[in-house]
Chains A and B, each alone.
Chain A
Amino acid sequence: MKIKKLEERFFYLLMILSTSFLAILLLFIVSIIIYKGLPSLSWEMLSQTPKGGYYLGREGGLLNAIVGSAYLASGAVILALSVSLPLSLAMNVHLRNNKRIINSIRLILDLLWGIPSVVYGAFGFTIMIYLGIKASLLAGIITVSVFILPIMVRAMDEVMKNVPFTLLESAFSLGSTKREVAFKVVTRQCFPGIITAVLLAFGRGIGDVAAVLFTTGYTDNIPTSLMDQTATLPLAVFFQLGSPIPEVQNRAYAAALILTIIILTISVVTRFLSRKYHKTRIN
């Protein structure tokens, strides 16, 4: 009996240790990034493009990467939304009774979700060569939108699954078509959830390197058209960290800090939204 108690005690202790390890780990990572990035984060860093080349120039900041990332992630999110929104609506309104199709769509999405982003990068690159476009903002947007598509559908599907069927039925009984139920009832009912999915996908899209490594190129300038090359924040970290010049390395740390702040902000906003969503949802 005593051994049993000891065993339980022992594992209980281990469990507490490993759970608190998670929280400590997060604090550790974030504080290291802040410690390294904060000293070099200045107004200059946020408002100027690098001068004298991103790899060798000591002067200038990260504006090219900040704007580039914003363009890239928003473009990709909008493009992905045009597929993911109708798809997840269809899964929960049009195909609601066709379990086989729904399950196979979910399976395919899980599969797509598991494909590493470097494979998407390679795929995007082949398509790019095939179509004859050069590395550009457009190629990056297309690649990233394919990569975040499964994340988005999954998150939306999760919310739309919970819309009570009686709500759909009452809309149908008033003579609405499936489209009207989908776009006017379900979309409105799930609006905060859709925003959450969009933000989640935005966070994924803005943080990914491997998918954009071959498709966006890299430049010191702010892109002015879809066919221009563009810099992104994660690429700025990745390329500038390897530089022998400390000022350039500092730019990498500052970019890492900005990226972390964006992810943290997204997390806070989604949490706030989902809390609000639970309050206003009809049940």
Chain B
Amino acid sequence: MYVTLRKIKDRFSNAWISAAQFFVFALPVAIFISLFYKSFLVMQTSGIGDLLFSSVWRPMAGQFGFYPFIISSLWITFLGLVITAPVCLLSAIYLTYYGSNKLSGIMQPVIDILAGISSVIYGVWGVLIIVPFTGRYLAPLFGYESTGFSILAGGIVLAIMLIPFILNILIEVFRTVPAEQFEASLSLGATKWDSIKNVVIRRSFPGIVSAFGLGLSRAFGETIAVLMVVGNVVGIPENLFDPGYPLPALIANNYGEMLSIPMFDSALMFAALILFVVVVIFNMLSRGLIIYLEKRQ
């Protein structure tokens, strides 16, 4: 009797595990199919080329040009990465090669908390600090007028949100560099900084690239914090102090209203599809690089 009960339990647990496995494999496919299916209507009517490269955005007239949104997204992502890159690289090198264990013990929770803070909190902070700062001080400094709700403010807030994400990956990447190689360089008389420059950075270059690739895909999809500081005005921004309107913000802002118009609904799903595809491609490329890096060792 006991044996059979055990067997039944085993069968049940195996079925459960298979179901969980199936679920995980099916999920990305399901997301892609449902987004594709929903956006099929707008792709059929307007054509993908027109959707991506037209800058006429008139939802009520059935004209959906995503170009301004794509440009805004690209600008903000680019700015975020450029601002965050030096901070992440320098801190990662410091924490892995210079800092004591005690320092890591202090900094790890700091990084974890920064990673855990909700994006809406970053948004509130951005509205309170970064927006007035860009509007009142940075814009006049460069001779522009701005309310502060701008591409630049979005880029700065995004950069700050990316720090814990990229930094954690970079620290992991640097740890995969064999200590012997670093020490060999030191023993040949190279200084610590020289060894870092010529051994560590060179050795882990693919890893560094993939860390920023993952950061890029994270940045591309960040919604709420950016939405709160970027201004949300449709149009191609002419300079960094102009407001922008990135793709995720477009989806988030219009969700309630679009239900009545099937074409608008379909267009927003198309925006989600763009996000999905871009993020998946960059994720895959970066993971591929990391796997290559691990195999080479």
Contacts and interface: CB of A to CB of B under 8 A. Distances in A.
Interface in A110-127: 110-112, 114-123, 125-127
B120 A112 contact: no
Interface residues of A, number: 83
B31 A115 contact: yes
B269 to A, nearest CB: 6
Interface stretch (A11-19, A54-62, A164-172, A221-229): A11-19
A237 interface: yes
Interface in B200-249: 214, 217-218, 220-224, 228, 248
Contacts of B252: 118, 121, 210, 213
B113 interface: yes
B199 interface: no
B128 A15 contact: no
A44 interface: no
A282 interface: no
Given A8-B191, A29-B125, A112 B24 contact: yes
A203 B116 contact: yes
Contacts of A264: 113
Given A114-B214, A207-B117, A209-B223, A15 B276 contact: no
B124 A253 contact: yes
A9 to B, nearest CB: 9
Contacts, number: 235
A115 B276 contact: yes
B183 interface: no
B13 interface: yes
Interface residues of B, number: 80
B95 to A, nearest CB: 7
Contacts of B284: 111
A118 B118 contact: no
Nearest to A263: B116
Interface in A178-192: 178-180, 182-183
Interface of B: 6, 9-10, 13-14, 16-17, 20-21, 23-25, 27-28, 30-31, 34-35, 38, 86-87, 90-91, 93-95, 98-99, 103, 106-107, 109-114, 116-125, 127-129, 160, 163, 167, 191-194, 214, 217-218, 220-224, 228, 248, 251-252, 255, 268-269, 272, 275-276, 279-280, 283-284, 287
12 contacts: A8-B194, A11-B193, A22-B91, A26-B113, A32-B125, A86-B13, A87-B21, A110-B283, A119-B35, A126-B34, A180-B6, A238-B228
Given A122-B268, A153-B24, 5 more contacts: A15-B98, A89-B17, A115-B279, A207-B120, A252-B124
For the complex of A and B, the 8 pairs showing the least CB-CB separation, nearest first, are A116-B221, A207-B118, A15-B94, A8-B193, A122-B272, A210-B223, A18-B90, A179-B13
Interface of A: 4-5, 7-8, 11-12, 14-19, 21-23, 25-26, 28-29, 32-33, 36, 83-84, 86-87, 89-90, 94, 105, 107-112, 114-123, 125-127, 130, 146, 149, 153, 177-180, 182-183, 200, 203-204, 206-210, 213-214, 234, 237-238, 241, 252-253, 256, 259-260, 263-264, 266-267, 271
